[in-house]
Amino acid sequence: MILDDAFVAISDPNRRFLLEELRRGPKTVNELAAGLPVSRPAVSQHLKVLLDAGLVSARPEGTRRVYAISTEGFLRLNIWLDQFWDGDTNGL
């Protein structure tokens, strides 16, 4: 189930940071690595987890890859979460 992968992907604080950065616009690995206290290869590994979960996309640009938020991936996650919001607040 891809949602399992999405929840695992967003469970890591470094990956949440990457998602927040990508929400501001597409970026390369080097641009993303500048904001994290981890190595560039570690950022690439985190991005692979996000790619596999369908939460980000990547496109080649010369010798670099540019990463961006995948709205389709977040839409699937949002649709799944929405089933728990039926308007009944008695359970809160």
User: DSSP assignment, residue 37?
Assistant: S
In a domain, 86, yes or no: no
CA distance 35 to 70: 21
What would the two tokens of residue 35 be?
């904001």
Query: So what's the pLDDT on residue 88?
Result: 61
Q: Is the residue at 71 inside a domain? A: yes
27 found inside a domain: yes
Low-confidence ranges of the chain (pLDDT < 50): 1
**pTM (predicted TM-score):** 0.84
Specify if 61 maps to a domain. Answer: yes
Q: How many domains are contained in the chain?
A: 1
> Quick one: how many helices (H) and strands (E) in the chain?
5, 3
The per-residue pLDDT for 35 is 81
Residue 14 belongs to domain with CATH number = 1.10.10.10
What is the extent of the structural domain holding 74? Answer: 2-81
**Residue 72 forms part of a structural domain:** yes
- pLDDT of 40 reads 92
What is the pLDDT at residue 2?
58
Strand partners, 68: 57
Is 90 domain-assigned? no
pLDDT at res. 80? 86
Residue 32 inside a domain? The answer is yes
pLDDT at 81: 87
